[in-house]
């Protein structure tokens, strides 16, 4: 009994140490956002902001068009997520329910696309956006983000749809329903955790995407927040306190979203782990 208690104490201490180590960058970000610039740049940094400067969170709105950046990021992230889910759901359902020639190689090809960096396709996408008249529009970023997330979303949803027994759908068909009815009334409700997990992944990827908006957007008023934060970097130096304050503000929407869908996200991750 005593040995077991000691082992549990050691494991708990190690987990707490690991948790603290992982949260250290977040803590540095938060305390830097509450410091004056000279306190951030000092060679002897402190672990607590002294003095506390809440004015940083007021100044950022006048220093850069942060509200416009956040609005653009929200438009891109939500639109990209909606587009990916609208296309991935029927694609994944077809892959999960129908057998056709080349199905396995196609699934393997989908997974293979996730091994390559987005930088590889930036130049072809840039030329496409230029020639199609979509350059310097949020539509270009939305389409680019959707292209990057589509393969993973289809692969993940295929696994969830395949785990649902066909007998459940056949009950709908007996009542005169169609495949569309069974998809909407049975498959999607039963796959809610998987749908939320996939949507969250797509949303975060679009919200944090840097290379695509940097390449496709040239107008300041159309830029997203991830690229817009570089406004605090100039020839005179980096306004680290204002930059960190803006990062804190930019993270808040994602934290709020996670708070509302945490239960579904956990169920989706656990289901994916057990269903393979």
Instruction: Identify the three-state secondary structure at position 190.
Output: helix
| pTM to 2 decimal places | 0.85
Count of the separate structural domains present in the chain: 1
Spatial contact of 153 and 85, defined as CB atoms under 8 Å apart = yes
**Residue 8 domain-assigned (yes or no):** no
Residue at 41 is within a domain: no
CA distance 91 to 189: 17
**Residue 43, in any domain of the structure:** no
In three-state form (DSSP H/G/I as H, E/B as E, the rest C), the secondary structure along 205-249 is HHHHCCHHHHHHCCCHHHCCHHHHHHHHEECCEECHHHHHHHHHH
Burial 205-218 (b: 16+ CB within 10 A, else e): bbbebebbbbbbbe
Q: Is residue 182 part of a domain?
A: yes
153's CB contacts (< 8 A; 6+ apart) are 84, 85, 88, 92, 198, 201, 202
Q: Is residue 21 part of a domain?
A: no
| 204 falls within a domain | yes
pLDDT in tens, 86-102: 999 999 988 888 887 87
Determine the pLDDT at residue 206.
Answer: 93
Beta strands in the chain (DSSP E): 233-234, 237-238
By residue range, what is the domain housing residue 126?
62-275
Question: 264: which residues sit within 8 A by CB, 6+ positions away?
Answer: 192, 193, 196, 197
pLDDT tens, residue by residue, 214-266: 999 999 889 999 999 988 888 778 888 899 999 999 998 888 887 777 666 66
């Amino acid at each position: 009994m005593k040995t077991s208690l000691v082992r549990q104490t050691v494991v708990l201490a190690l987990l707490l140490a690991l948790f603290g180590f992982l949260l250290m960058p977040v803590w540095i970000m938060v305390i830097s956002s509450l410091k004056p610039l000279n306190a951030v740049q000092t060679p002897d940094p402190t672990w607590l902001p002294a003095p506390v400067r809440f004015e940083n969170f007021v100044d950022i709105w006048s220093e850069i068009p942060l509200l416009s950046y956040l609005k653009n990021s929200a438009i891109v992230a939500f639109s990209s997520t909606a587009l990916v889910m609208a296309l991935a759901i029927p694609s994944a359902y077809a892959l999960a329910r129908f057998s056709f020639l080349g199905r396995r190689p196609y699934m393997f090809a989908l997974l293979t696309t996730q091994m390559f960096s987005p930088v590889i396709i930036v130049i072809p996408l840039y030329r496409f956006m230029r020639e199609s008249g979509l350059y310097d529009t949020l539509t270009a970023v939305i389409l680019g983000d959707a292209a990057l997330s589509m393969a993973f979303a289809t692969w993940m949803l295929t696994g969830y749809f395949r785990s649902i027994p066909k007998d459940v759908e056949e009950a709908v068909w007996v009542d005169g329903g169609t495949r569309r009815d069974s998809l909407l009334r049975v498959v999607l409700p039963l796959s809610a955790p998987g749908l939320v997990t996939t949507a969250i992944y797509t949303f975060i990827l679009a919200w944090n995407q840097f290379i695509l908006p940097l390449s496709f957007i040239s107008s300041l008023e159309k830029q997203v927040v991830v690229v817009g934060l570089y406004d605090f970097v100039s020839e005179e130096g980096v306004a680290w306190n204002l930059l960190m304050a803006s990062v804190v503000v930019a993270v808040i929407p994602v934290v709020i979203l996670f708070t509302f869908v945490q239960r579904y996200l956990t169920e989706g991750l656990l289901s994916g782990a057990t269903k393979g």
